[in-house]
Amino acid sequence: MHKKIFELEHELPVTLDCDVIVAGGGPAGFSAALSAARSGASVTLIELGGALGGVWTQGLLSYILDAHGKSGILDEIVAELKLVQGYLHTPHPPNGTSYIGDSDWTYDSEAMKFVLEKLVTNANIHIEYHSRVVNAFVKNKSITHVVIENNSGRSAIAAKQFIDASGNGDLGFFAGASYEIGHPQSGEVQPATLVAIISGFPENMENTLQGDLKIALHQKFAKYGSELSYRRPVFVRLPHPNLAAVFLNHQYSVSHDDNTGITRATIEAREEVFKAIENIRKDPEWSQARVVQTANFIGLREGRRLNGLYRLSVSDLQNGAKFEDAICLVHLPVDLHSVNKAAEEAAGKKETTSYNAGLTAKPYQIPARSLISADVDNLMMAGRCVSGDFYAHASYRVTGNSVPMGEAAGFIAAKSVAQKVTPSQYLELNPGAITAEMAGRGYLL
């Protein structure tokens, strides 16, 4: 940055006043909005893209991990996806000591967009697509308004409770909340991956979710001239019989707040994906391979982890921690992608395909307190930006956990509005209530 100019203060219209604002409509934000609305709150959901689902849809993720023991809204999504042939039960092979992947599944991302919109219809949720949260007004440690920008210009929305489900913790950042980023010593973040949907693969092609199949796929691409930057590439079949999702690239040092870097990484990743598919067509069995679609945005595994009343740590994973305010049980162990190229190459030489940093985990609970900001009284978090350390985040961040986090945050926010208290006070005044609520929704604790 070479120079600075100053923006003049200007008036903003306050276009809405509601009980709960949710920033971000990904797996966590969608679930938070639906849960808050069903718990009696008037809700505004602000989403940057033109669909609900975040990494599920615009990111083409296609595969739900850590679904075991998760009911609630995830079950509703599954039921709706089945109606439109958009669901495929896709068990994950064993991964570490604690992982139970028998409930994992894939979906078609277009079906997911449709289903999520169907579920929010009639739920008393005001949705603003194509809208970015760009600022927050804070008074006496509480947010009063968020500022959004969209096709209608710049405006403010007032609410009583706020949920940051933006993945990168944007709302918390604008509200001045403290946060952590990346590796505890180096600050490095896990690499970014641009997911793609392909067709024209061999009929007998197996999913490469784990084990030697990943190594074999890397070798296959290498044989035809593409030394993939992700040395453990993922190929997973979708419900649509002719389509599969592939994760082929790793882009390193992509920071959530470096737009130029994100743009560069996106362009490089898309080029790598296209070249890899073009090259593998030299294999007679892959001669019909095509890129059908690449994601609208490159998937960032990490952004800000906003500090909460409780910070989940790696020792919680190792000890199988239990909490009085538990909201769900996590089974996925540490699933850490190499933070730089040298580490990736070292991992690539190992026989094992596990990226667990040598850490073993037991099933552990997520406490509601890790969803409540330590700094801003009426701010909660859900999904990727909740409070935890680098290693814990590499376990709880997957979407089977983002949904219950959203459900819990939405419920607590709505009840806090009704009882005119902060989320922290709600937990104190209603001990055990959130855990009972989640158990009542069918969550295994």
Ligand X SMILES: Cc1cc2nc3c(=O)[nH]c(=O)nc-3n(C[C@H](O)[C@H](O)[C@H](O)COP(=O)(O)OP(=O)(O)OC[C@H]3O[C@@H](n4cnc5c(N)ncnc54)[C@H](O)[C@@H]3O)c2cc1C
Binding stretches for ligand X (CB under 6 A): 23-29, 46-49, 54-55, 61, 63-65, 132-133, 165-168, 170, 193, 299-301, 383-384, 397-400, 402
CB of 432 to ligand X, least distance (A): 26
Cβ at position 128, least distance to ligand X in Å: 9
Q: How far is the CB of 429 from ligand X (least distance, A)?
A: 28
For ligand X, the closer of residues 215 and 300 by Cβ is: 300
The minimum distance between CB 194 and ligand X, in angstroms, equals 8
User: Least distance in Å: CB of 421 to ligand X?
Assistant: 25
The tokens describing 95, both together, are 């991964």
Copy the structure tokens of residue 274. 């296209």
CB of 184 to ligand X, least distance (A): 19
Which CB atom, from 109 or from 166, has the smaller least distance to ligand X?
A: 166
Cα separation values, 253 from 181, 187, 211, 345, Å: 12, 10, 26, 16
For residue 122, is it left (φ>0), alpha (ψ between -120 and 50) or beta?
A: left
CB 396 within 8 A of CB 288: no
Q: Which is nearer to ligand X, 206 or 324 (CB)?
A: 206
Q: How many CB atoms lie within 10 A of CB 315?
A: 12
What is the helix (H) or strand (E) element at residue 296, kind and residue range? none
Judged by beta carbon, residue 158 or residue 433, the one nearer ligand X is: 158
Quick one: 96 or 281, whose CB is closer to ligand X? 96
109/399 with CB nearer ligand X? 399
Residue type, 400: G
Judged by beta carbon, residue 255 or residue 402, the one nearer ligand X is 402
State the minimum distance, in angstroms, from the CB of residue 219 to ligand X. Answer: 22
The least CB distance from residue 302 to ligand X, in Å, is 8
Q: What is the b/e burial string over 123-160, where b = at least 16 CB atoms within 10 angstroms of the residue's CB?
A: ebbbbbeebbbebbebeeebbbbbbbeeeeeebbbbbb
For ligand X, the closer of residues 373 and 399 by Cβ is 399
Angle 404-397-77 from CA coordinates, rounded to 5°: 40
Q: How far apart are CA 59 and CA 169, in angstroms?
A: 18
**Using CA atoms, how far apart are residues 413 and 426, in angstroms rounded to an integer?**
9
In 3D space, the residue among 434, 273, 306, 299 whose CA is nearest the CA of residue 365 turns out to be 434
Q: What is the DSSP string of 118-140?
A: HHHTTSSEEEE-S-EEEEEEEET
Give the amino acid at 308: G
Closest CB 283 distance from ligand X, rounded Å:
25
Strand partners of residue 14: 156
Measured from the CB atom, is 140 or 151 closer to ligand X?
A: 151
